[in-house]
Amino acid sequence: MDLSLLGAAAAASALAEGRISSEELVAACLARVEADEERVRAWAFIDPEHALRQARFADSRRREGKALGPLHGLPVGVKDIIDTADMPTENGTVLHAGRAPSADAALVSMLRAAGAIIMGKTVTTELATYSPGKTRNPHNPEHTPGGSSSGSAAAVAARMVPLAIGTQTNGSVIRPAAYCGVVGYKPSFGLISRHWVLKQSRPLDQIGVIARSVEDAALLAEQLIGFDQNDPDTRALSRPLLRETAMREAPVPPTLAFVKTPMWKLADAQCQEAFAGLAARLGERVEEVKLPAVFKDAWKWHQTIMEADLARNYEPEYRRGRDQLSEALRGQIERGRRVRALEYNNALDRIPALNGTLNQLFERGYDAILTPATAGTAPRGLASTG
């Protein structure tokens, strides 16, 4: 059997029962990388021998009867804006070429503690913004894989790795996962530490996971949730049992709110027809709900916060190397430099108001919101991320 075909949960069970070794699993994934990387280009850095050394160490721990974590022996791709002490982290820009962090990001430390094998660093767009990297959509390399977590989504979809970490400030986990046909899960703000992850915008930056099933995504995300004193936005909460919840039968059929956001008109005809068909299939379990008018300006408020924070956090790169930044990123930074403090703070004040409105929606009895992740399937062309 080709072990690269195994999902993470199935592979974890096989590893725990001794039916396969981590070295065998990693070798199968590396064979998939060797066969398809030239076409997909998902990796910013991968050292096969280093990955295999980690796998052999994991296997030795199992043979010796040592305590094993829930991700023991599973290979994971890590987006190349997340620091790793044993691999470069270049943030998708020539300005950071050769950058070698001296410590792991908090989430990488948690991955290692759970037994994961850090397979390599996956391609990010330029400083996790809009200018694409080298990655292609594995289903059709003439189409974008999305961004900014391009390599993470493509690597999982191409079966080069069963699990990957991404980040999201503006749809950067959900969009590439959708375009590549895999599961993207962006947990609630403050659940996963961002310590030693490239900072774009403190109010908006979040960590997410990419997998090939909901169970696999839950298995990975569950290991990353926790309070970190180095990230003041994390919360001291008990770790939720995401995998157990994902696999449990719902006690009652869920009621879903089908939301056509203020951006619904941008969805293409195929997307709109697909969601209309899904809603019809769900029947009484779904009700169409219109968001209050306040949501029509949410995109502009988000842009105000993000671009002002980009201008602040990427000031060193802009000052010393603006000519080496893409036109798109220079434009974002320059717009952000013009944002007034009043505009920025007014936009920040909208966040709790919008969240409160969504809480009211759930209090009305809806268990989840159904809405498109993207305007349609991955568009043709590689000049943008869709």
Helix, strand, coil content of the chain in percent (nearest 5)? 45, 10, 40
Whether 172 is catalytic: yes
Catalytic residue chosen out of the listed positions 22, 149, 172, 193 = 172
Beta strands in the chain (DSSP E): 43-45, 75-79, 117-122, 163-168, 183-185, 206-211, 256-259, 286-289, 368-370
Whether 79 is catalytic: yes
**CATH 3.40.390.10 is right for the domain spanning 3-247:** no
Cα(184)–Cα(189) distance, integer angstroms: 15
Cα(104)–Cα(118) distance, integer angstroms: 11
Domain ranges of the chain: 3-247, 294-363
Catalytic residue chosen out of the listed positions 4, 22, 79, 201 = 79
Supply the pTM of this predicted model. Answer: 0.97
Catalytic residue chosen out of the listed positions 148, 150, 152, 193 = 148
Per-residue pLDDT of the chain (386 residues; tens, 9 = 90+): 899 999 999 999 999 999 999 999 999 999 999 999 999 999 999 999 999 999 999 999 999 999 899 999 999 999 999 999 999 999 999 999 999 999 999 999 999 999 999 999 999 999 999 999 999 999 999 999 999 999 999 999 999 999 999 999 999 999 999 999 999 999 999 999 999 999 999 999 999 999 999 999 999 999 999 999 999 999 988 889 999 999 999 899 999 999 999 899 999 999 999 999 999 999 999 999 999 988 999 999 999 999 999 999 999 999 999 999 999 999 999 999 999 999 999 999 999 999 999 999 999 999 999 999 999 999 999 999 99
Whether 21 is catalytic: no
